Every structure is written in structure tokens, then in C-alpha cells.
């Protein structure tokens, strides 16, 4: 039914206001069939609100949202038929066991694939006989993930799905995302962790203050994935400035900080080795830092102010 | 100490609306009881007649308390004390559980406990808040009585009696919170303790001995085991006796100290009765649907509601004939009774009718409680998970509504069936068990309006669903208990749905009222189901 030309998810100029605060301010998002689409943004940028609109749980103030070409607000049941969802903050029924919750959620979608269910419980090292009230955040998340992955869907909406998982479980999670996409499913994965998105996603949309500020393949967004270096070295500043792929250089005595393009990492490391260093840390820049750098301090300040407001409106 | 004060202020801030509603409601009830006596029973001989009926009737003693002379104050205390004391106990119990076990369930205690406080600081703060709330309650109840033209000193003591009961159950709930594994079970246990204290007092009073004037009754031994019975012995408007206050005070302190010691000795989140933390690995076939889930979530409280109404029904069926025996052949009594329920009625029927009316109110309460589960599901984020499934909001709401209707119906059926069975097993010349059973069922249409209304408020303004649902029931209960006594305008009394259901077996069955109430309930529920599509899911 859907070809590559008709997106699985399409929103255009999506606006959502909660009272006087604005959660989405004209969001355009397009997710193509078969891709893992990263939905990246700081806390409160509007990621969860977007997913809730895509699920028909909230009505957009203006603009359109389509899932499989269906308006989820007016026809939620039809739009949900092939959708699996894992919310960012999973709460379960305290008196039901994890196994019962999985059966309930999968059952509402038509029933779990028994082999998949067994496999997932095993791989996620999940204890299905415990009552949900005893579960930690990670275990609640596992229950929702197992329910979502235990029955094939055409679209997976995952809201910061691995935020409570340890690295081993995170690897299991990534394996299952790859499994469903190799079967042709589409995944929209919201996150505020750039490295997580890098590992999984084909394309990325970056959202800030309710609007999409960047969208494209990872290669197209490569300029966002510079590595942050902090070295202690006696290398001369005038030498440093001749190096390739160096950005945002700052020097404080012997402590030197700069960003390096991914393509030039080998060159920079060689140059550093040649120059001689006594200490080095290298880290991918956090998303917040990227925003600070790419959109200016003032804009980022507004973003975090706004995000606090929209979070507040969600709590109230 | 500063930490205790700060936490108490925080808890008070969270509770300000709830506590204000409880205190004003209880004091308002006291005022209504007082003015009903001072305006409608202004003459000594009227009050004497009322009291002599009551003193001779175990059922009256059971429900209301001990007659203690014919002064306005004493008659008001007899009429209104037990109910206000029960409400004070519930207010205090829920207050304590809200800030102890419920906070632990929700993880808030962990956050507070990580600051510079000890394990028991938060409990001290809750006890401080509860004490303040009960002092304010005592003053408010006294003000209500004084406002109804009752003597000042007696009113103050009566308020103190009510506040003392509240304080005791505050301490008792603090103990329950240490023992029970969840807020839900702790609330249920604490409420059951309050209800048990009322029933034990009722048994003691019903078995009490009247003096020769038939105007005073002294309680029998069971009442010693009830804090509500103890506070009643203060006798605020006659021969006041402060000793019972000391007994309750000492009991409160002992229980509170034990609660603090238990809190001090346990881990965060642990309980002295362990929760059953494991269960079935697979869901039964019934659970994998909205209806199955709604049933699973409600079945436990459904059983509790049915147990409660069945107990009430047993009292209705068992005590009715006893009342009749006690009052037969006393014309002044019949005259008086007819002022409370007009018409030519048998005395047994009158008692049975009153009890079935209370069962109807409980059935409505059961329905409200069932519908309010939706609010918890939405506020705690589980609705988001459910409604992301290919299942419509109609099915979500409809499943819970179906379970709520079933809960209300089952509660009424349990009351009627148990009354009929107990009645059939005794010998009496009253109405047939079948009529009594039908009398319980006759309240179902009116009772269903309350869950339907709660559902409508949930669809429109979910935050208000609990307040409006319970508030509407409280208003209907008040109109039913005091509307006639206070001579309120008929249109106002007619706002209570229960006015339109047939008070069987006293009245004949009136199909028009039942059909009208059922039609209203259906229309309101249909509107709710239509309107739920229009709003955002709250997250």
C-alpha cells in the first residue's frame, strides 16, 4: 500500500498549544517506509507530544498529522492497527504480573507470537512472574518493549526506549530494532542521546522548541557529529590553527579544547601524537552542546526556558 | 523539629482543598443535625417522644447511639454524633495513609527521605498535620452546634469528642500504614477499623439498658472496645465526664508510639504484612481485552462492596422484627414515626426501608469508585499505553462503565438477597422476603445516576471527577437524611435521585420513577461516551 514515495508518518505545520504554552510550533516530519528515523531533541522539545498526536491521544491545535495516510485523531483504531508503541515513562498495573501485562498489551493488538515472546523474555532477562509494582523503571520498560516486539507491526513508535536499560539490554533492544526493520517495518525512535541515534538510525530529524531544525541522513548531518577533544599539550596555538578539521578552538594555558570533524579524526590524532600530549579526553558532544553551538547561546537559552514550560504543562 | 514543621506544611499544602472540604462537610452535618432538632423538635414533649421511641428500639440505638435525656443538645448528640465521628475517623485515616504508605508507593518518600531527615520525620509531620486538622475539626463541629443554638460548653465538648475520635484513628492509620503493603490495602483496612468501631459501638448501644424514664440508655460492655463508644461516654450536654477523653488520649498516644517505633524499624517500602509479589506468568484468556482488564481491576473491591452491603442487608432483615416487637402497640411512637416517613406504615417495614435506602447509597458509592478507576488509569499514565492500542476510547470507557454498572447492581442484589434470606429464616409478620429483595433492587436506577455523572465529569474535566462524584453522593445523602427534617423546598429535595426511587416496602413500587432515573442515567452515560472523543488524553 505504502511505497517509498508516500511516507508512513507525515506531519505538516503541526502546532500544539497547552493553554498559553506552545509545545509544537509548526513541526514538519516525514518518516519513510522501512527506515529507522531518529527523532532527536532536548527534554521538552516536543518529542513526546508529537508521538501522542501521531497516536491520536491528543488533537493538534492546527496542522495535519497522518499515519499510513490516516488521521489518527478521527480514526485512531484504524491508524493503530499496525502500530506498536513504547511510552517514555512506562507505568503498569501494580497488581498484574509482568507476564500478564505483556499478554494484555499484545492481546489488545491481536496476540503475541509465542516464539517471539519466549525469545524476548529470555533475551531481556525478564522475570514475568513478578507483580509490576516490584519492577524498576528498566523492568517496566522491558515489559513494554517485549509487548511491542512480540507481535509484528508495520510501525514502531518508541519514545526514549532505552533510557532505563543497561548496555547489555540496550544491545538486545538494538538487535530487535534491526530485526523488525529487516522485515520491512518502520521505526520512529525519539531520543536525546546522539550516540544512540547514530547507532540505529538511517535518517534523523532534530526538533527544538517544537519545530524541526534539521532533517536528513546521518551523512548529511555529519557536521553535527564532531568529537570534542580536551588535551594537555605544549603545542603552539599557531601550529594548531593550521590543522585540518578543527573547530571552536579554545586555549587556557596548557589545556586545549577543540572539536574535530569525524572525517579528519585520523589526521588530528596523528598530529596530536606528533605534537606530544600529556593528557587527553575525547567525547562526542552532547546534544545540548550542539544546540548551544549551532543555534547560538541565546536561542538555546530560550529553548531550555520553553522546555521547562511545556514540561510543566504536561505535569499539571 | 524544623524539618517536621516544613514537611507538615508541605503536606498541608497538598491537602488544603481536601481537608477543607472534609472539615466543612462534617461541621455542616453537625449544624444540620442541630438545627433539625432545634427547629423541628422545638417542644420538650416532641423530643421526649422521639427519645422514648429511640430508647425502646435497638435498631435506632444501633444506628444512632445512646439517648441521653431530652435537652436539644442531648438529642442532637444522639442524632448526629455517630455519623460525624465516623466521618472524622475516615478523614483522619485517609489523611495519614495519603502521606505515608501512598507516598511510599509513589516513590515520593524516597525523595524526601534522601534529605536531612530521619526515617520517622515524615511520619511525625503527618501526625502533626492530623492533630491540627482534628483540632480545627473539633472547633468547626462545636461552631456548627453553637450556630444551631445549642449550649456553648456542651457544643465545645461534643466537638472535642468528635476530634478525639479523629485523633485516635489518625494514630491507628499510622499503625496500619506500617503494616499493610499498599496504599489501597491500608486505606481499606483503616476504613474497616472505623466501620468496625461504629458497629461495635452499635452492638453495645443496642444491647444497652434503658432506665425507668425510658429517656436514658446505658451502653453494654461491647462499646468499651470502640473509640467511638468511648467518646460517646463524654455525655457533653448532660453529666459531662472527661475521663473517656483521657482514655482515648492515652490510647492514641500508645498507638502512635507503636507506629513510630515500627516505622523506625523497617526499610523504606517494606511492610510487616508482606505483599504477594509474584503471580501467574501468563494472562488468562479473559484478561486480554479492555473488558477483561476492567473486571480484573475491579473484582477485589467488588467483593468488598458486596460483603459490606450484604452485612447491612443482614442487619435489615434480622433487626427489623426486633424493632417491631419493641414498638408494637405504642400509638405515640407510630405518630412520631410518621413524621419521619409519612404514610401509614408498619414499623418493621420502616426500619427495613431505611436500611435498604442506605444499601442503595452504598451501591451508588460502589459505582462511583468503579468509574474513578478511569481517572487513576489516566493520571498514572496507563491509559496512554492502552489507548495507543487498536482499541477505541469507546471500548475503554464502555468496559469500565459496564463493570461499574455491574458493581452497583451486585451491591444492591447482595443487600437484598441477604436481607431476604435472613428475614425468611426468622419468623415475622413483616413484608415477604421477595418484597424486601425487590426493595433493594428498586434503588438501582437512582444509584446508577451517580456513576454515570462521574463518568460524564471524567469525560469533560477529569480532574474534577472524584470531587463531583463523591460530592454529588454526599449531597444526595444529606438531602435524604435532613431534607425533610429541615423542611427544605421540595424542588431541592427532588434533586436527589433517591427521592425518585421507590422506598419499598413502605411505598409500592413506582415504575415511572425507576424508568425516569434509568433514562437519565443512560442519557448521561451516553453523553460521556460521546464527549470522551473530544478531549486530549491527559499525560
- In a shared domain, residues B141 and B265: yes
From chain B, pick out residues whose CB is under 8 angstroms from the CB of A128. 281
Q: Is B24 inside any structural domain?
A: yes
**Predicted confidence band of residue B196 (pLDDT cuts 50, 70, 90):** confident
Is B280 among the domain residues? no
Do B113 and B245 belong together in one domain?
yes
CATH number of the domain within which A272 lies: 3.30.70
How many domains does chain A fold into? 2
C-alpha distances (whole Å) from B324 to each of B58, B209, B321, B428 are 10, 18, 5, 9
Could you give the number of structural domains in chain B? 2
**Residues B213-226, mean pLDDT to the nearest whole number:** 86
Is residue A294 very low, low, confident or very high in pLDDT (cuts 50, 70, 90)?
low
Last residue of a domain, one of A222, A244, A267: A222
Give the Cα separation of B524 and B447 in Å (integer).
Answer: 13
Mutation target among B384, B461, B537 for the A interface, most CBs of A within 10 A: B384
Range of the domain at A200: 9-222
Q: Is B291 on the interface with A (CB under 8 A)?
A: no
Note whether B323 and B246 are same-domain residues.
no
Q: Is the peptide bond before B505 cis (omega within 30 degrees of 0)?
A: yes
Percent of all residues in chain B with a pLDDT value above 70, rounded to a whole number = 93
Q: Do A108 and B380 touch (CB under 8 A)?
A: no
pLDDT at residue number A263: 80
| B249 and B364 share one domain | no
Q: Are B165 and B65 within 8 A, CB to CB? A: no
| pLDDT tens sequence across B485-506 | 777 888 998 899 998 888 887 7
- Same domain, yes or no, for B263 and B297? no
Residue A163 lies in a domain: yes
Residue A269 placed within a domain: yes
- Report if residue A304 sits inside a domain: no
In a domain, B483, yes or no: yes
A93 and B290 within 8 Å at the Cβ level: the answer is no
Give domain status of residue A61, yes or no: yes
A131 to B277: CB separation less than 8 angstroms, yes or no: yes
| Structural domain that includes position B453 | 287-539
Task: Judge if A118 and A264 occupy the same domain.
Answer: no
Q: Using an 8 Å Cβ cutoff, are A189 and A29 in contact?
A: no
Is residue A309 domain-resident?
A: no
Last residue of a domain, one of A204, A222, A240: A222
* List of residues 6+ apart from B246 with CB closer than 8 A: none
Whether B293 and A104 lie within 8 Å, measured CB to CB: yes
Domain end, chosen from B273, B307, B330, is at B273
- A264 and A158 in a common domain: no
Asked if the model's pLDDT at residue B269 lies above 60, the reply is yes
A79 and A150 housed in the same domain: yes
Q: What is the CATH number of the domain that holds A16?
A: 3.40.50.300
Shortest CB distance from B281 goes to which of A91, A99, A144?
A99
Q: What is the pLDDT of residue B2?
A: 87
Range 53-82 of B in CB contact (< 8 A) with A: none
Task: Give me the long-range contacts of B491-500 (CB less than 8 A, separation at least 24).
Answer: B497/B445, B497/B446, B497/B447, B497/B449, B497/B450, B498/B357, B498/B360, B498/B361, B498/B443, B498/B446, B498/B447, B500/B446
Query: Is A236 found in the same domain as A218?
Result: no
According to the model, what pLDDT value does residue A313 have?
36
Q: Where does residue B373 fall: left (phi above 0), alpha (psi -120 to 50 degrees), or beta otherwise?
A: alpha
B385 to A90: CB separation less than 8 angstroms, yes or no: yes
Mean pLDDT of B7-16: 94
A208 and A243 both lie in a single domain: no
- Residue A86, min C-alpha distance to chain B (Å): 8
Closest CB from B287, B387, B391 relative to A100: B287
First to last CA, chain B: 37
Cβ contacts of A15 on chain B, cutoff 8 Å: none
A85 CB neighbours in chain B (<8 A) are 385, 388
Residues B264 and B151 in one domain: yes
**B215 and B317 inside one domain:** no
Contact B280/A100, CB-based, under 8 Å? yes
Write down the pLDDT at residue B281. 86
Task: Find chain A residues with C-beta within 8 A of B297's C-beta.
Answer: 93, 95
Kindly list the residues from chain A whose CB atom is less than 8 angstroms away from the CB atom of residue B277. 130-131, 133-134
Share of chain A above pLDDT 90, in %: 51
Chain A residues within an 8 Å CB radius of B279: 96-97, 100, 129, 131
ipTM, two decimals: 0.82
Q: Are residues B37 and B177 located together in one domain of the fold?
A: yes
Same domain, B293 and B268: no
Are B269 and B297 in the same domain? no
In a domain, A250, yes or no: yes
**CB spacing of A133 vs B275 below 8 angstroms:** yes
Give the residue ranges of DSSP H helices in chain A: 47-54, 76-80, 98-108, 114-123, 137-149, 167-182, 194-200, 237-240, 265-275, 287-295, 297-315
pLDDT of residue A301: 42
pLDDT tens figures, A27-83: 999 999 999 999 988 888 899 999 999 999 999 999 999 999 999 999 999 999 999
* Closest chain A C-alpha to B467 CA, distance in angstroms: 17
pLDDT tens across B118-163, in order?
Answer: 999 999 999 999 999 999 999 999 999 999 999 999 999 999 999 9
Q: For residue A89, what is the nearest residue in chain B, using CA coordinates?
A: B381
**B280 contacts in A (CB within 8 Å)?**
97, 99-100, 129
- Indicate the DSSP class of residue A53: H
Clarify whether residues A208 and A279 are in a common domain. no
pLDDT of residue A181: 94
Four-point Cα dihedral B490, B493, B499, B505, nearest 10: -80
Per-residue model confidence (pLDDT) at position A40: 87
Last residue of a domain, one of B243, B273, B303: B273
Say whether residue B390 is in contact with chain A using an 8 A CB cutoff.
Answer: yes
Taking CA atoms, B138 is separated from B143, B161, B169, in Å, by 9, 8, 14
Output the CA torsion sign for A166, A172, A175, A176. Answer: negative
CB count, 10 Å around CB of A221? 20
Last residue of a domain, one of A222, A239, A259: A222
Same domain, A218 and A261: no
Whether residue B293 sits in one domain with residue B242: no
Amino acid at each position: 500500500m505504502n511505497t517509498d514515495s508516500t511516507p508512513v508518518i507525515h506531519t505538516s505545520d503541526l502546532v500544539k498549544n497547552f493553554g498559553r504554552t506552545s509545545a509544537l510550533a509548526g513541526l514538519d516530519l516525514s518518516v519513510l517506509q522501512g527506515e529507522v528515523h531518529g527523532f532527536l531533541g532536548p527534554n521538552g522539545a516536543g518529542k513526546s507530544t508529537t508521538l501522542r498526536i501521531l497516536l491520536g491521544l491528543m488533537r493538534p491545535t492546527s496542522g495535519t498529522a497522518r499515519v499510513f495516510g490516516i488521521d489518527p485523531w478521527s480514526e485512531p483504531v484504524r491508524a493503530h492497527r499496525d502500530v506498536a508503541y513504547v511510552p517514555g515513562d512506562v507505568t503498569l498495573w501494580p497488581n498484574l504480573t509482568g507476564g500478564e501485562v505483556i499478554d494484555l498489551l499484545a492481546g489488545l493488538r491481536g496476540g503475541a507470537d509465542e516464539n517471539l515472546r519466549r525469545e524476548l523474555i529470555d533475551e531481556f532477562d525478564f522475570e514475568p512472574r513478578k507483580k509490576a509494582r516490584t519492577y524498576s523503571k528498566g523492568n517496566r520498560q522491558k515489559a513494554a518493549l517485549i509487548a511491542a516486539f512480540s507481535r509484528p507491526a508495520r510501525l514502531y513508535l518508541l519514545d526514549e526506549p532505552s533510557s532505563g536499560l543497561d548496555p547489555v539490554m540496550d544491545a538486545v533492544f538494538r538487535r530487535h530494532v534491526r530485526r523488525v526493520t529487516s522485515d520491512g517495518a518502520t521505526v520512529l525512535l525519539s531520543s536525546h542521546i546522539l550516540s544512540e541515534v547514530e547507532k540505529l538510525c538511517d535518517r534523523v530529524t532534530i526538533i527544538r522548541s517544537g519545530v524541526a531544525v534539521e532533517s536528513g541522513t546521518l551523512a548529511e548531518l555529519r557536521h553535527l557529529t564532531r568529537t570534542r577533544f580536551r588535551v594537555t599539550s605544549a603545542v603552539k596555538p599557531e601550529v594548531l590553527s593550521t590543522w585540518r578539521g578543527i573547530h571552536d578552538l579554545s586555549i587556557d594555558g596548557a589545556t586545549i579544547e577543540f572539536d574535530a570533524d569525524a572525517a579528519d579524526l585520523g589526521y588530528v590524532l596523528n598530529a596530536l601524537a606528533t605534537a606530544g600530549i600529556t593528557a587527553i579526553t575525547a567525547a562526542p558532544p552532547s546534544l545540548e552542546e550542539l544546540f548551544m553551538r549551532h543555534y547560538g547561546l541565546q536561542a538555546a537559552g530560550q529553548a531550555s526556558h520553553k522546555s521547562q514550560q511545556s514540561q510543566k504543562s504536561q505535569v499539571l | 523539629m524544623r524539618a517536621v514543621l516544613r514537611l507538615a506544611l508541605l503536606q498541608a499544602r497538598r491537602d488544603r482543598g481536601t481537608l477543607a472540604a472534609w472539615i466543612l462537610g462534617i461541621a455542616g452535618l453537625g449544624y444540620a443535625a442541630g438545627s433539625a432538632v432545634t427547629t423541628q423538635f422545638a417542644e420538650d414533649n416532641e423530643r421526649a417522644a422521639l427519645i422514648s421511641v429511640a430508647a425502646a428500639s435497638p435498631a435506632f440505638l444501633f444506628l444512632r447511639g445512646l439517648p441521653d435525656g431530652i435537652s436539644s443538645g442531648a438529642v442532637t448528640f444522639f442524632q448526629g454524633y455517630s455519623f460525624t465521628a465516623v466521618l472524622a475517623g475516615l478523614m483522619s485515616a485517609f489523611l495519614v495513609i495519603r502521606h505515608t504508605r501512598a507516598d511510599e508507593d509513589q516513590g515520593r518518600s524516597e525523595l524526601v527521605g534522601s534529605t536531612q531527615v530521619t526515617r520517622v520525620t515524615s511520619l511525625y509531620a503527618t501526625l502533626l498535620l492530623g492533630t491540627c486538622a482534628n483540632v480545627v475539626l473539633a472547633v468547626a463541629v462545636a461552631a456548627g452546634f453553637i450556630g444551631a443554638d445549642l449550649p456553648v460548653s456542651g457544643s465545645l465538648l461534643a466537638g472535642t469528642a468528635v476530634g478525639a475520635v479523629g485523633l485516635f484513628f489518625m494514630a491507628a492509620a499510622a499503625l496500619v500504614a506500617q503494616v499493610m503493603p499498599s496504599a489501597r490495602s491500608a486505606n481499606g483496612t483503616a476504613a474497616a477499623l472505623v466501620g468496625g468501631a461504629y458497629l461495635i459501638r452499635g452492638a453495645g448501644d443496642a444491647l444497652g439498658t434503658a432506665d425507668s424514664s425510658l429517656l436514658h440508655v446505658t451502653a453494654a460492655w461491647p462499646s468499651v472496645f470502640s473509640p467511638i463508644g468511648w467518646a460517646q461516654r463524654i455525655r457533653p450536654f448532660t453529666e459531662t465526664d472527661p475521663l473517656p477523653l483521657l482514655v482515648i488520649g492515652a490510647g492514641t498516644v500508645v498507638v502512635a508510639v507503636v507506629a513510630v517505633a515500627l516505622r523506625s524499624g523497617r526499610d523504606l517500602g517494606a511492610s510487616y504484612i508482606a505483599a504477594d509479589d509474584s503471580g501467574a506468568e501468563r494472562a488468562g484468556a479473559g484478561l486480554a481485552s479492555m473488558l477483561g482488564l476492567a473486571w480484573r481491576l475491579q473484582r477485589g473491591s467488588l467483593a468488598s462492596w458486596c460483603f459490606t452491603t450484604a452485612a447491612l442487608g443482614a442487619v435489615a432483615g434480622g433487626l427489623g422484627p426486633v424493632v417491631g416487637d419493641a414498638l408494637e402497640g405504642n400509638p405515640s411512637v407510630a405518630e412520631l414515626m410518621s413524621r419521619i416517613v409519612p404514610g401509614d406504615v408498619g414499623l418493621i417495614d420502616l426500619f427495613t426501608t431505611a436500611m435498604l435506602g442506605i444499601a442503595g447509597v452504598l451501591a451508588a458509592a460502589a459505582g462511583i469508585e468503579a468509574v474513578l478507576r478511569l481517572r487513576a488509569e489516566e493520571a498514572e499514565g496507563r491509559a496512554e499505553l492502552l489507548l495507543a492500542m487498536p482499541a477505541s476510547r469507546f471500548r475503554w470507557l464502555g468496559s469500565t462503565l459496564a463493570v461499574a454498572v455491574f458493581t452497583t447492581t451486585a451491591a444492591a442484589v447482595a443487600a437484598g438477597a441477604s436481607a431476604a434470606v435472613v428475614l425468611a429464616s426468622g419468623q415475622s409478620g413483616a413484608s415477604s422476603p421477595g418484597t424486601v429483595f425487590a426493595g433493594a433492587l428498586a434503588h438501582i436506577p437512582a444509584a446508577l445516576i451517580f456513576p454515570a455523572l462521574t463518568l460524564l465529569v471524567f469525560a469533560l474535566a477529569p480532574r474534577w471527577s472524584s470531587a463531583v462524584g463523591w460530592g454529588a453522593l454526599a449531597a444526595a445523602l444529606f438531602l435524604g437524611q435532613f431534607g425533610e427534617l429541615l423542611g427544605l423546598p421540595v424542588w431541592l429535595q427532588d434533586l436527589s435521585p433517591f427521592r425518585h426511587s421507590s422506598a419499598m416496602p413502605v411505598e409500592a413500587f413506582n415504575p415511572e420513577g425507576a424508568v425516569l432515573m434509568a433514562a437519565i442515567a443512560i442519557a448521561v452515560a451516553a453523553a460521556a461516551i460521546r464527549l470522551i472523543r473530544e478531549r486530549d488524553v491527559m499525560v
